[in-house]
Amino acid sequence: MTTAYAARIRDELVLPQVAPDQLKHLEETTGGALNVGLTMLHHPALAQRYREFGISFLTDGTLPARDRELIILRTSWLCHSAYEWAHHTRIGQDCGISEDEIRHITTTDLGSWKPADTELLAAVDTVIRDHTLTEEQWTRLADRYGTAGIIEIVMLAGHYAMLAGILNSAGTRVEPGIDAAIPLDW
């Protein structure tokens, strides 16, 4: 028998005492992304350490919200993370990303984007593919975001790639009623 929140998890979840507060904070911060928390709580100590780190990208980052969501959406698409895609298409729209832009995130042709967006999306592609930025990407992004911003870009893409790995591997399901604003067909 599998759980309602993750197709591959068969263990019964025994919530630690801190879990209700963690889940409430997660739900409030993410607009309903509870199943990621339920999946992670199968390793309570790691879940507790991870929660602050993961949520900090949404609450304490230095990048503009639109840029953050472009990074997350591109990473979600590259990593085939239906869970993150469903949640972040909605968040992305709230941050000013249009439906057409969300659709276009799923193409390899970055030529029709504004140069600043092209640069950012290409950096995500490079980080996910090569796990590094080129010298030229570092220089251009440093001019725009500073060193702290570049570190956040790389860590944000890496974080969502890591998260996609666990959510995809566990078969974490998107919560009922949460549909991708722009559905994908992989």
One domain, residues 83 and 45: no
DSSP string, 104-143: HTTSS--TTS-HHHHHHHHHHHHHHHHSS--HHHHHHHHH
Q: Rg (Cα) of the chain, in Å, rounded? A: 17
**Residue 80: inside a domain, yes or no?**
yes
Return per-residue pLDDT of the chain as tens, 186 residues.
Answer: 677 899 999 998 887 776 677 778 777 877 788 899 899 989 988 988 888 898 899 889 999 999 999 999 999 999 999 999 999 999 999 999 999 999 999 999 998 999 999 999 999 999 999 999 999 999 999 999 999 999 999 999 999 999 999 999 999 999 999 888 888 877
Q: Which residue in the block uniquely carries the two structure tokens 């969501």?
A: 69
Angle at 145 between CA 142 and CA 147, to 5 degrees: 55
Co-location of 108 and 77 in the same domain: yes
Within a domain: 2: no
Domain that holds residue 29: 19-59
pLDDT of residue 74: 98
Whether pTM > 0.75 for this model: the answer is yes
CATH number at residue 151: 1.20.1290.10
Q: Do residues 93 and 144 make contact, with C-beta atoms less than 8 angstroms apart?
A: no
Q: Based on the fold, state whether residues 103 and 162 are members of the same structural domain.
A: yes
Q: What does each C-alpha distance from 119 to 139, 161, 172 come to in angstroms?
A: 11, 19, 31
At 38 the three-state DSSP class reads helix
